[in-house]
Structure 1
Amino acid sequence: MTRQRNATLEALLFEYDFSHSGLADKVNDVVGELTGARGRCTDRQVRRWASGEFRWPCTTYLLALERIFGRPPEAIGFVPRGKHSAVRRSAPTAPQERGGDDMYRRTFVTAPVAVTVALALGLDDTPVRGRLAMSDLDRIDRSIGRLDAHFFAVGGGPLLSVCTAYVERLRDALDGCVYGERVERRLHGAISGLYASAGWAAHDSGEPRQAGLLHTASLQSALLAADASAVARAWSNLGLQARLEGRHREAVQITRAALDVRRVRQDPRIAALLHARLAIGRARTADRAGAARSLLAAEQAYDPVDAAGPAPSWLTFLSAGELSGLAAIAHQALGHYRPAQAATVQALALLPPAMRRSRAYYGVQLAELHLAQGEHEQAAHTVAALQHASLDSRRIAGRLAAVQRTLTLQEPRP
């Protein structure tokens, strides 16, 4: 068979200003990011790809090349050798763990999973060179919507590294692309949303300090986007972060500041969410009357939501069921266990099956409320009914483990 040069790859080398050795170094760097072990690609291998001698590189290098050029292998000029040479949509096995370094293990054990998620959600399609148009931002928004849906279904898990990697891609687009003012604002808004999603993933993964940094970055990008809704989202997340760190008065102040923005108050979903979180903050500061007023305000704000049009992807979780769950948290903080239990039961009845993370969260909350009232048999029944096997949330798993330990201690001994 006559060898045919890979003219597409050669054109990409010229477009991206890569020498053969330069591309090899970049491939090795990306392989390191994906697997935890730097690649061993050489300039000789790149020359063989360009000459057509190697028409289909190994999977590890294909994944790296896809990320570098932002396109599938066929669009880089590679030709599959047959059905068995199709790209595996997963990364190679992670390297052996190092003892004594939990952060290192956690980062690279999950790296292949993160790569699989990123590829499955199509996050590498965003251009980092050339002209960005509004249609590109529409595709970016759809990708972020898929990320949000993944979080609501299974929790944070590998999404922390996926979101932060996608942020870096969008920041590369900010620096490397040509665009107009409207596109620029939307791009900053998309980055703000990704930082917010990454913050929640960090929160789910038990990384509170990183979550705070990500939410702060989300606010900065929201301000650059001049997007009142994105700013409100960032403030809301920072308020939640303050509450989780025990700074309850600060959480109340942050949430009230977000509600002072007129446009935010006029959005029924955002206003309802902020009022519900304000109720929890006030409950944590023993402001019973204030918590009751905020819960009522949340209900009233949510009333016209059906006429407000479709929700942005990050707010699709906010339903009547979620509001009941948030109200339950406020009642629980006040020590009102019966109303908290009733509201949690209502939340579980209203939440759709697809919201598996929320259902697991409030399922654990219901078991905690049973324990707080001495109802150990009911707590055991609630735990047994939980469908949490497919979730990837260290936070929820930790709370569930605490409930299970309490139940074990309460079991009668023979």
Structure 2
Amino acid sequence: MDTQRNAIFENLLREYGYTHRGLAKDVNRVSGRIFGRPGAANDRDVRRWAAGKVRWPTARYLLPLVEIFDRPPQAMGFVPRGALSRLPVPPPRAAEWEEDDVRRRTFVVGSTATAVAVVLGLDETPVSGRLTFTDIGRINSAIGRLDAHFNAIGGGPLLTAATACITRLRDAVDGCTYGPGVEKALHSSISDLYSSAGWAAHDDGQGDLARLHHAAALQSTILADDKRGQARAWSNLALQARTEGRHREALQINRAALDSRQARQDPRIAALLHSRLAIGHARARDYRAAARSVLAAEAAHDRFDTAEPAPPWLKFLDAAEIAGLSAIAHRAMGCLPEAEVATAQALQLLAPNMRRNRAYYGVQLAELRLAQGDLAHARTAAAVVDTSALSSRHISDRLATIHRTLATA
């Protein structure tokens, strides 16, 4: 029977800078962590996957491939064959929820940069020798884990870890040798880390530091010639300007980001920018423009390609987040009932692992009910907000204000 080459898988190898032997080595390493013993893949196995001779690798290799490339098997070009080709479940000893619980306890109990960096693998970046695309892939995987834990626990303990990792990557810039492609990819990774650090600083109530990190993210992504990264950096700078009360500046930055080719081509970026633009228009009292931007964000969300995995930094942007951002815009327009409905919808749609956002929108729901004089339901909403596993000064301060207000009402 004729076989068809797996062009998608071959493109992934090129994108990540993998040789056949290099990928086999990483598959065996990850397989050892998942299954308790190293795999036995070699370059011949990788060639067979690329040639389409093996349409669905065995679990011992498929699960590591899913982790390395951060996408389901079909998105790597593999073709399932009946019930036996379902994605297998990892052994219980390596189940994702167990790892998350261990990491979460480490973050909550230990706040040092070293402890957090070790848990996320942020301390493994070489600072001397030859740097390759394989190293960049590992760096980006660690940054993706960092962003995932921000969504789970907030920014407090992640800020120190992110800034320590930025220092390590900047040391790698000066201490390693690499080609021009790796150089740009390294600056793109540094930009992503600066953006993550900026969000962590914002969540920790350190606005001045957040502004510096977001500005540095833009500088690094310009060096990387990374247009999508620039759209992200501009979006974060617009949010920072809005947080500081500079609403017209925020609008100008947001409009500039929306005019980029990336925003026109990527509906996820467009949805985020339109959502934040809606809030900016509302704060500037241009309510018609705010309403148009809310609709534009929802229309962009409807164009999401669910088969295409989102970049790690945009995984938070789903139907729940679109509803939540819409609620913030309606609140700024003074439409409190509509904002309350949208916030409740966001809470209903949120995934279980989005603990930080659940607490954020739980606080927002209590605030909206309090603003409408509904004290009983405001108490109910505030009572169920769980911040025990979070480290977010931004959220905890708002929740404390609600409790003080209710205590004197």
* TM-score using structure 2 length: 0.73
Say which SS state the counterpart of residue 206 (structure 1) adopts: coil
Deviations, residues 23-46 of structure 1 (Å, cap 9, x unaligned): xxxxxxxxxxxxxxxxxxxxxxxx
Give runs of aligned pairs for residues 265-284 of structure 1, distance below 5 A. Answer: 265-284=264-283
Letter in 2 for 1:296: L
Deviations, residues 379-398 of structure 1 (Å, cap 9, x unaligned): 11111111221110000000
Distance in 2, matches of 1:176 and 1:153, equals: 34
Letter in 1 for 2:353: A
The structural deviation recorded for 1:306 is 2.7
Distance in 2, matches of 1:290 and 1:118, equals: 43
After TM superposition, where is structure 1 displaced by more than 2 Å over at least 4 residues in a row? 109-115
Letter in 1 for 2:134: S
8 A Cα contact 2:231 2:262, kept in partner:
no
The structural deviation recorded for 1:111 is 7.8
Question: Using a 3 Å threshold, how does the CA distance of structure 1 residues 159 and 307 change in structure 2: closer, same or farther?
Answer: closer
The structural deviation recorded for 1:308 is 6.2
8 A Cα contact 1:110 1:158, kept in partner:
no
Say which SS state the counterpart of residue 305 (structure 1) adopts: coil
8 A Cα contact 2:238 2:253, kept in partner:
yes
Question: Using a 3 Å threshold, how does the CA distance of structure 1 residues 299 and 112 change in structure 2: closer, same or farther?
Answer: closer
Which residue in 1 is equivalent to 2:328?
329
Distance in 2, matches of 1:239 and 1:181, equals: 31
Structure 2 portions without partners, runs of 5+: 1-101
Letter in 1 for 2:402: V
Distance in 1, matches of 2:305 and 2:207, equals: 35
Letter in 2 for 1:148: D
- Point out the more displaced range, 301-310 or 154-163: 301-310
The structural deviation recorded for 1:122 is 1.2
Which residue in 1 is equivalent to 2:246?
247
Aligned-pair identity (%): 61
Distance in 2, matches of 1:264 and 1:163, equals: 27
The structural deviation recorded for 1:112 is 4.5
Distance in 1, matches of 2:275 and 2:310, equals: 17
- 1:181 partnered with 2:189: no
Distance in 1, matches of 2:128 and 2:372, equals: 60
Which residue in 1 is equivalent to 2:357?
358
- 1:372 partnered with 2:391: no
Question: Using a 3 Å threshold, how does the CA distance of structure 1 residues 195 and 110 change in structure 2: closer, same or farther?
Answer: farther
Distance in 1, matches of 2:120 and 2:151, equals: 14
Which residue in 1 is equivalent to 2:141?
142
Which residue in 2 is equivalent to 1:294?
293
8 A Cα contact 1:239 1:250, kept in partner:
yes
Letter in 2 for 1:346: Q
The structural deviation recorded for 1:378 is 0.2
Give runs of aligned pairs for residues 20-59 of structure 1, distance below 5 A. Answer: none
Which residue in 1 is equivalent to 2:402?
403
Which residue in 1 is equivalent to 2:200?
201
Say which SS state the counterpart of residue 123 (structure 1) adopts: coil
Distance in 2, matches of 1:166 and 1:251, equals: 29
8 A Cα contact 1:268 1:308, kept in partner:
no
The structural deviation recorded for 1:115 is 2.3
Once superposed, what is the RMSD of the aligned Cα atoms? 1.6
Which residue in 1 is equivalent to 2:165?
166
Q: Bigger relative contact order, structure 1 or 2, given CA contacts below 8 A and separation 6+?
A: 2
Which residue in 1 is equivalent to 2:225?
226
Letter in 2 for 1:222: T
Which residue in 2 is equivalent to 1:152?
151
The structural deviation recorded for 1:295 is 0.6
